[in-house]
């Protein structure tokens, strides 16, 4: 089931505490500390589809952890299906896709009395459910990323070379370049944007040039995929 072990590198670093639960089939709750509270009722539409900045990156980070510990064993690491269950990256990022997503996540799926997918209604909070949704729908096209490996590794080198004493202007130049390159990769779900390690690295850098080593590690994770 570990189709591409190397692909784990990026989420492991950004989501430092990712529980690696593939051998363990018990569904688990997701720590959503840091995300805005949502109403107890789960709602019908992803509240973070248009989110920006901190909320967006938190949702993707937490959603990635939740996905890896609860969904990846069937739906594949990074949501890239190995064929056991549908490839969720293509689930449309719109009201219809949300309805379908919620129905499966809340109730699971049974066929001829066999549980093909367990229900998560009692395990995941609304925050966790929508964070996972946000993670899934912002997945970039992994093949496009691979094809742009040379450009991405050049960007990584720039980040790596950034001294902790870099001025905010120097940081911003590189962060803007990371964002611009990241924005070239479309989300397979049709969501307004994809979020890859490039934008995550830009976000980290903007919080301080001393985060350059971590940001460059994040980008390296993309290159190992």
Q: Which residues make up the interface to ligand HEC (CB under 6 A)? A: 70-71, 73-75, 85-86, 88, 91, 100-101, 104-105, 109, 116-117, 120, 132
Q: Are 42 and 129 in contact (CB under 8 A)?
A: yes
Q: Which is nearer to ligand HEC, 88 or 171 (CB)?
A: 88
CB of 25 to ligand HEC, least distance (A): 7
Q: Which is nearer to ligand HEC, 98 or 217 (CB)?
A: 98
Per-residue tokens: 42: 């789960």
Q: Name the phi and psi angles at 115, rounded to 5.
A: -80, 110
Per-residue tokens: 179: 């964002």
Q: What is the chain's alpha carbon radius of gyration, rounded to the nearest angstrom?
A: 17
Q: Which is nearer to ligand HEC, 103 or 184 (CB)?
A: 103
CB of 199 to ligand HEC, least distance (A): 22
Cβ-proximal residues to 219 (8 Å cutoff; 6+ apart), any chain = 152, 155, 156, 159, 178, 197, 198, 201
- CA 225 to CA 1: how far, in whole Å? 16
CB of 75 to ligand HEC, least distance (A): 6
CB of 217 to ligand HEC, least distance (A): 27
Q: Which is nearer to ligand HEC, 1 or 147 (CB)?
A: 1
Q: Which is nearer to ligand HEC, 7 or 202 (CB)?
A: 7
Per-residue tokens: 66: 């939740």
Q: Nearest Cα to 101, choosing from 71, 78, 76, 123?
A: 71
CB of 44 to ligand HEC, least distance (A): 14
């Amino acid at each position: 089931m570990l189709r591409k072990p190397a692909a784990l590198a990026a989420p492991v670093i950004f989501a430092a505490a990712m529980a690696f639960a593939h051998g363990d089939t018990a569904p688990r709750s997701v720590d959503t500390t840091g995300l805005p509270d949502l109403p107890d009722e789960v709602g019908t539409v992803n509240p973070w589809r248009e989110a920006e900045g901190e909320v967006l990156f938190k949702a993707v980070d937490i959603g990635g952890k939740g996905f890896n510990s609860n969904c990846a064993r069937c739906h594949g690491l990074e949501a890239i299906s190995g064929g056991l269950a549908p490839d969720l990256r293509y689930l449309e990022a719109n009201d219809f896709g949300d309805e379908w997503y919620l129905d499966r996540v809340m109730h699971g799926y049974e066929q001829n009395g066999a549980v093909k997918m367990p229900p998560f209604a009692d395990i995941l909070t609304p925050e966790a459910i929508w964070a996972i949704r946000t993670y899934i729908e912002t997945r970039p096209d992994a093949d496009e990323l691979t094809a742009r490996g040379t450009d991405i590794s050049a960007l990584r080198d720039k980040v790596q070379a950034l001294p902790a004493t870099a001025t905010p202007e120097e940081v911003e130049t590189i962060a803007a370049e990371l964002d611009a390159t990241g924005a070239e990769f479309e989300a397979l779900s049709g969501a307004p944007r994809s979020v890859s390690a490039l934008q995550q690295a830009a976000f980290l850098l903007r919080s301080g040039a001393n985060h350059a080593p971590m940001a460059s590690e994040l980008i390296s994770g993309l290159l190992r995929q």
